[in-house]
Structure 1
């Protein structure tokens, strides 16, 4: 399998993940404040995830998916 020469593809995926989380949060009419409090994560972390500038842990993604009431696979596909 050919490996990319840089990690730009990782940054692209992080931005897509952030977009999906922000879109789902907006669709559910939740503020960042509501999501971060209900997910038990800091607002700063949520903001960086939504901006595609953070590498969230698996547990953090599970917490977010649970609050958004979506399968984790829908966020990371």
Structure 2
């Protein structure tokens, strides 16, 4: 059985990577944070925290953001 790290650094890095993918997709579409969070119907702070990697986002929130960006939620979760 693989060992599990004792610290949460790996979790922060994964959240940060998801936020980075969201930001890159948003910028490539020439969209503002505001246009995405309003269309996704998520709060400003929630969206900003997700994009910054500072929040353990609910899957529903990620699904809404993915839909607005025109991608499947799995595209936010995995490195392509």
TM-score by length of 2: 0.92
TM-score by length of 1: 0.96
Note the alpha carbon deviations across 1:9-58, whole angstroms, 9 max, x for none.
00000110110000001111111110000000011111111111011100
Alpha-carbon distance between aligned partners in 2 of 1:72 and 1:52, rounded to the nearest angstrom? 16
Number of aligned residue pairs: give it: 77
> RMSD of the alignment, in Å?
0.7
Q: Which runs of 5+ in 1 are unaligned?
A: none
Moved over 4 A (4+): none
